[in-house]
Amino acid sequence: MDIPGARPVPISQLSRAQDRLTFVYLEHCVVHRDANAITARDARGIVHIPAATVGALLLGPGTNVSQQAMVLLAESGSTAVWVGEHGVRYYAHGRTLARSSRLLERQAELVSNRTSRLRVARAMYAMRFPDEDTSGLTMQQLRGREGSRVRRIYRDHAKRTGVQWERRDYDTSDFDSGTPINQALSAANTSLYGVVHAVTVALGCAPGLGFVHTGHVRSFVFDIADLYKTEITIPTAFDIAAREVGDIGAETRRAIRDRMKDGRFLETCVRDIKTLLADEDEVVEYGPESFEDPDVVMLWDYNGRNVAGGVAYDEEEG
């Protein structure tokens, strides 16, 4: 019996998360589907976007999305992220591309144990500041080191670009109230969060299970995004703020997009997440099998092993 509707996109035609475009921001347009492409239509015409090659589709104000467009994004493992004007607010995201819960279970295991959680937090800080030894630092010491380093980085870029800098100060409900540099930082960070969120859910991880951040549904996204701010969002934001631009939010998003369009960032993000969540003696692989795990459902056993699902077990089998 035929199932009504378009056929799902074969998994063999999907791109791995690290091989995809970073993100596409849309606003004031109608988003629909044409075969295996997402279409964006406004008064200027229609643009076709191959759904299977998009990491995150950022849907801003004035976007109307059809049901078939969302079906295609879901089947393609592309993450739709609903955002506010200038990309300042985050509202929702789509589904994962992963077929296995392996990384999710590993993430939950690590974050639930104080010792392993601290080990991962130290590893995150070591990735950010590779010239410092973080192996014996407490969380309080790590936060202190980070604060000093980040403040110095802000001052260095302010001196480099001539942008006046006082402190990081912004209101998420009023984008325009911020100084140009704070507007640029907010727009840059929000774009980064969208891309990192896309990678996180594509890998099947939980955005809310953070190691450094906690209490927010995107704590892990903030953890991972912080690995790249000093290299990507901070210098880009200062470069934009140093120029006279009409729309700081739009210019900053385009600049972040240009920094990431070669795909290297996605590959780095995937590698870093897998490295952080890997067993200490595990050799991490980054091949095509990353997102081609079979749809296998196992049953948990109290003895610490998994048993096959879809089997009628007799009580006598124990």
Question: Nearest Cα to 142, choosing from 172, 166, 163, 120?
Answer: 120
CA–CA separation, 313 and 298 (whole Å): 13
Residues 6+ apart with CB under 8 A from 247: none
Q: Indicate the helix (H) or strand (E) that contains 70.
A: helix 67-75
**Extended beta strands in 35-89, E state:** 37-42, 45-50, 54-59, 63-65, 79-83
Q: Is 86 annotated as a binding residue?
A: no
The identity of residue 20, as a single letter, is R
Other C-beta atoms closer than 10 Å to the C-beta of 24 total 18
Q: Is 109 annotated as a binding residue?
A: no
CA–CA separation, 173 and 188 (whole Å): 16
Q: Is 146 annotated as a binding residue?
A: yes
Instruction: Pick out the residues of the known binding site.
Output: 146, 213, 226
Instruction: Pick out the residues of the known binding site for Mn(2+).
Output: 146, 213, 226
